[in-house]
Amino acid sequence: IDGSERVANLVWNLSDLLRYTLRKTEQLIPLKEELEMINNYVAIQTARFGERLNVLIDVDSCLLDVPIPGLLLQPLVENSIIHGLESSKNKGIVKIRVVRQNQDIQVEISDNGVGFNPEAVN
């Protein structure tokens, strides 16, 4: 059936995402596992937004085994997509950047979305 492979891939992405959230939320996991989950999440959102969504991931490969809290990145990426890009007509770009900063790990999630009105924040 036309599109059945696409739907099957989305179901796999969703099932992997759900399994991940059920077992990884209260433990430290390697950054590479979190990024795999982000890729599943982005695949689902790409099915929704199509070519309007572009996610760029820039991670120093020496950091892939660094332990981080599970589900650290997904809510931030979701916020960028939903609040930054959903109402925009332009092509949305979400950037995920992870670098070592001295002894710390710096995580940066940014987007080119609509932003928010600081005056509207109480």
**Dist. CA 93–CA 78, nearest whole Å:** 12
What is the reported pLDDT for 101?
93
HSE, CB side, 13 Å, CA atoms: give it for residue 114. 13
- The pLDDT of residue 115 is 79
pLDDT of residue 70: 86
Give the SS3 label for residue 36. Answer: helix
Percent of residues, the chain, with pLDDT higher than 90:
46
Q: What pTM was estimated for this model as a whole? A: 0.79
Q: Looking up tokens 């759900």, which residue turns up?
A: 18
Most trustworthy range by pLDDT among 11-20, 33-42, 56-65: 56-65
Which residues, in sequence order, are CB contacts of 74 under 8 Å at separation 6+?
Answer: 34, 37, 38, 41
pLDDT for residue 11 is more than 70:
yes
What length does the chain have?
Answer: 122
**How far is 114 from 103, CA to CA, in rounded Å?**
34
Cβ-based neighbours of 65, under 8 Å, separated by 6 or more: 30, 31, 32
pLDDT tens-digit readout, 69-120? 888 998 899 999 988 888 888 899 999 999 999 999 999 999 998 877 777 7
